[in-house]
Amino acid sequence: MALIEGVTYSNIIWGLMHHPKNFQPCIFLVAKALGTYFFRIPFVFGVINESKKAMVTHMEALEKELSDGREWLVGEFTLADIGMAPVFNRMELAGWAFIYADMPNVCKYWKRLQERPTFKKAIVDEELTTTTLSA
């Protein structure tokens, strides 16, 4: 719900007109119209719970992998690390950072990703915010 609160109906219409996958703005439209009830729909609730379980499993595996003291997933900074940046960014935006909050190696890894100069340029600066969508 954290992501949908700041999205206006005009933002959703903009998404329908410009998003490469129209089903995603349609889901936002239904979620916006139904409010918190949307997340009580059994199918939606089930998908969210299964997603959380899967993400916990992935983050626990990442914590274990990083427990040997390495800074990056495959020795040097690689495409594997680049691919993790949007995953963490979306988890934060969705309010799911609690999943890895007690995993020190994962938290340090995410901080290192955020500190890379390219993170700000590629992720933060290019994020479509709810205030710029309707422009």
Nearest to 31 by CA among 47, 54, 51, 53: 47
pLDDT tens by residue, 17-46: 777 766 777 777 777 777 777 778 888 788
Domains in the chain, CATH or no CATH each: 1-40 (no CATH), 50-127 (1.20.1050.10)
pLDDT value, residue 123 = 72
Give the C-alpha distances (Å, rounded to integers) separating 123 from 8, 32, 35, 89.
22, 25, 28, 8
Its pTM stands at 0.70
d(CA 34, CA 42) in angstroms, rounded, equals 14
- Under DSSP, the state recorded for 5 is H
Residues 69-126 pLDDT 10s:
999 999 899 999 999 998 998 898 888 999 999 999 999 999 999 999 888 777 766 6
